[in-house]
Structure 1
Amino acid sequence: MATTIDKNTLTFLAELAEHNTREWFNENKARYDAARKNYLNFLDEMLLEMQHFEPAARGQQGKDLVFRIYRDVRFSKDKRPYKDHFGAYVAEGGRKSILPGYYLHLAGNNKSFVAGGLWYPPAEELKAVRQEIDYNLDEFKALVESEEFKQKFGAVEGEQLKTTPKGYEKHNPAIHYLRFKSWNAIMPLSDETVLGANFLQVVLDAFRSVKPLNDFLTHPIKDVGEED
């Protein structure tokens, strides 16, 4: 039987969002430990299943891919000490990889989502991805404008330049996609879906659907690495 997300896990995260203090967290540390363990168990089973279609999942463990619950508040106006969600990133090279990957965000109050794609690549890699999209616009549009993609994720999301990227004309047919700094596919998840018996399958289906986009975005980035 597939690992499921416990209702107590979402309840804890919803209450953490409401009571984001060290005092409350310390009083509820046992609940946090149980929720985190539930999430890690889910990730471990997810990774085993992902290996059937995504080589980057091989040899990885949930505990190595999950982000810390503690927020870095040193340079932030938001001084809340904890994140109000669990998040894990699956990519070749682990959670700090600059390569495209898969993200599972678990939160209370219907704020969970699965995502894939590329998150703010460094300058050289960003330049290479834009060039890849420019050269292969039809292939890229076939991926992100397909009915399957739109049904699951809507449109590609991510921060965009307000101006035209250096080296491109504003009339370039690809200009809409070239303005992106990140190319993300995001599928919101209701609490009902997260707590359902088939949630693992929902996540895996979403990741399978985003894999072609990840593969497209990975090629130019790896080419940059080979040139160095």
Structure 2
Amino acid sequence: MLQPSTLKFLKDLSKNNNKPWFDAHRKQYEDAKKDFESFIQSVIDKYGLKDDTIRDQEAKKCVFRINRDIRFSKDKTPYKNNMGASINRGGRKSIFAGYYFHCEPGQSFVGGGIWMPMPPEMKKVRQEIDYCFDEFKKIVQSKKFTTVYGDLYKEEDISLSRVPAGFDKDHPAADYLKLKSWIAMQSLKDADLTAKDLVKKTITAFETLQPMVQFINRALDNVE
């Protein structure tokens, strides 16, 4: 579970997103960061028993910086209003699919997959879906997967308007081949974040996603 003070800090930050306020509340930030890292480490320690590819990851290396990169953004607010952690085989910046936790009051979620891979990796994932669609379909349309996630995220921001070149436009996997990211997300209420079963709920979500993560990473193992 996360402490209510962590959520309060993020709520207050969203209303006071500026350096003077942040500097004046750095102690609260440090406490919130420590709380979030402790939660993520608990997840790694327990879920690592089920997925040994992430067993050696350290929470502090999985958690994203709270500072925003504003160099090319019209939004010049200096800080993120959330805390996020990417738990991946090979580390947060690896090419492999993995797991993600996003803590943001009113907009939290747990899930994972692979986000905007580079062209060589994207091609491999599409080929694997093409070659093994029956297997992929069983994973993402299983009762367990649909109960937890519903379906993969398929909004326009990560989907092509047409099936990519090299694949039949009437391919039965067309909706999945058009994707540029393969991710699933389960929304979390603020009450979920401070509940005692948050680690258990997160591990259940990761377990449900594991077959898809393994499917994608099997394809990426062959990237030249």
Query: C-alpha distance in 1, partners of 2:108/2:53?
Result: 23
Alignment check: 8 A CA contact 1:48 1:57 kept: no
Structure 2 equivalent of residue 126 of structure 1: 122
Partner of 1:223: helix, strand, or coil? Answer: coil
Structure 2 equivalent of residue 60 of structure 1: 57
How far off its partner does 1:57 sit? Answer: 2.1
Structure 1 equivalent of residue 170 of structure 2: 171
> Where does structure 1 differ by over 2 angstroms across 4 or more consecutive aligned residues?
none
Structure 2 equivalent of residue 113 of structure 1: 109
Partner of 2:164: helix, strand, or coil? Answer: coil
Query: C-alpha distance in 2, partners of 1:151/1:58?
Result: 26
Query: Residue by residue, what CA displacement relative to the aligned partner does 1:74-102 show, whole Å, maximum 9, x if unpaired?
Result: 01111110001111111111111110000
Query: C-alpha distance in 2, partners of 1:171/1:58?
Result: 41
Which amino acid in the other structure matches residue 80 of structure 1? T
How far off its partner does 1:50 sit? Answer: 1.2
How far off its partner does 1:172 sit? Answer: 1.2
Partner of 2:130: helix, strand, or coil? Answer: helix
How far off its partner does 1:163 sit? Answer: 2.0
Alignment check: 8 A CA contact 1:98 1:119 kept: no
Indicate yes or no: 2:135 matched with 1:136: no
Structure 2 equivalent of residue 186 of structure 1: 185
How far off its partner does 1:116 sit? Answer: 1.3
Query: C-alpha distance in 2, partners of 1:44/1:173?
Result: 40
Which amino acid in the other structure matches residue 211 of structure 1? Q
Kindly report which structure 2 residues correspond to 1:1-228, keeping only aligned pairs within 5 A, or say none. Answer: 4-108=1-105, 110-158=106-154, 159-224=158-223, 228=224
Partner of 1:56: helix, strand, or coil? Answer: coil
Which amino acid in the other structure matches residue 126 of structure 1? M
Query: C-alpha distance in 2, partners of 1:145/1:59?
Result: 31
Partner of 2:103: helix, strand, or coil? Answer: strand
Query: Residue by residue, what CA displacement relative to the aligned partner does 1:129-159 show, whole Å, maximum 9, x if unpaired?
Result: 1011011111111111112111111110141
| Normalised TM-score (structure 1) | 0.94
Q: CA RMSD in A?
A: 1.0
Alignment check: 8 A CA contact 1:152 1:187 kept: yes
Query: C-alpha distance in 2, partners of 1:60/1:183?
Result: 22
How far off its partner does 1:56 sit? Answer: 2.2
Partner of 1:57: helix, strand, or coil? Answer: coil
Alignment check: 8 A CA contact 1:47 1:60 kept: yes
Which amino acid in the other structure matches residue 89 of structure 1? S
How far off its partner does 1:164 sit? Answer: 2.1
How far off its partner does 1:66 sit? Answer: 0.6
Q: Can you give the 5+ residue segments of structure 1 that lack an aligned partner in the other structure?
A: none
Query: C-alpha distance in 2, partners of 1:215/1:40?
Result: 25
Partner of 2:53: helix, strand, or coil? Answer: helix
Query: Residue by residue, what CA displacement relative to the aligned partner does 1:100-137 show, whole Å, maximum 9, x if unpaired?
Result: 000011111x2111011111111011111101101111
- Which region of structure 1 is more displaced relative to structure 2, 50-59 or 73-82? 50-59
